[in-house]
Amino acid sequence: MAKLALMLSCLFLGMAVLVVHSTNIQGPKEIDEWFKTLNNSKEKLTRLHFYFHDAISGKNPTAVKITEPADGFRSPTSFGQVNMIDNLLTEGPEPDSKPVGRAQGLYAYASMEEFALLMVINFVFTGGDYNGSSLAVLGRNPVRHQLREMPIIGGTGVFRLARGSATARTYSFELESLDAIVEYDIAAIHY
């Protein structure tokens, strides 16, 4: 029961990061005014491309295990393990490439038959036209598939009311350290 409470707390904390980190937060009056303009607004399609650096090893890991199955249950697919992340997003695949934001949230190993993750992640953008805006992803990521598609279920700032698709492709994976770099292509519809 305590682990369930911890997992739920982490889930809500991860979603709350979206609100706390954003620098362009508008108040209720500004948001009401924005909604009033929707009838005259046209939807836009924004395409983004970036790299997600999942660092489990080293001095400063950005993905850490927060829970695993109770009672010594072990699964070859890590079923039941949950990791919290604050991963770097960059323009290119190199870790020293220009940062564009952070991926904050968690992923859980959700399949007993294959390596498939439940992703609960906010892509929080930290520069340029999208500074302070975010996109929320909630979906299944079968990590051994060459291409994986996950839904975009919302956003903030520039991406308020966003919906769309996030396509992931593993760029590199280190078997010993379990560190990975994942290439993302985003197609987001928003106002």
Instruction: Give the chain's domain count.
Output: 1
- Residue 41 in this model has a pLDDT that exceeds 80: yes
Predicted local confidence at residue 20, as pLDDT: 42
Domain coverage including residue 110:
2-190
- The label of the residue with tokens 């909604």 reads 35
CA 19/CA 157 separation, integer angstroms: 10
CATH, residue 11: 2.40.480.10
What's the mean pLDDT when you consider all of the chain? 89
Lowest mean pLDDT among 24-38, 111-125, 137-151, 154-168: 24-38
pLDDT digits (tens, 9 = 90+) for 68-115: 888 777 889 999 999 999 999 999 999 999 999 999 999 999 999 999
Average pLDDT over residues 147-171: 97
Predicted local confidence at residue 19, as pLDDT: 43
DSSP 131: T
Asked whether 106 and 84 are in contact (CB, 8 A), the reply is yes
Predicted local confidence at residue 83, as pLDDT: 97
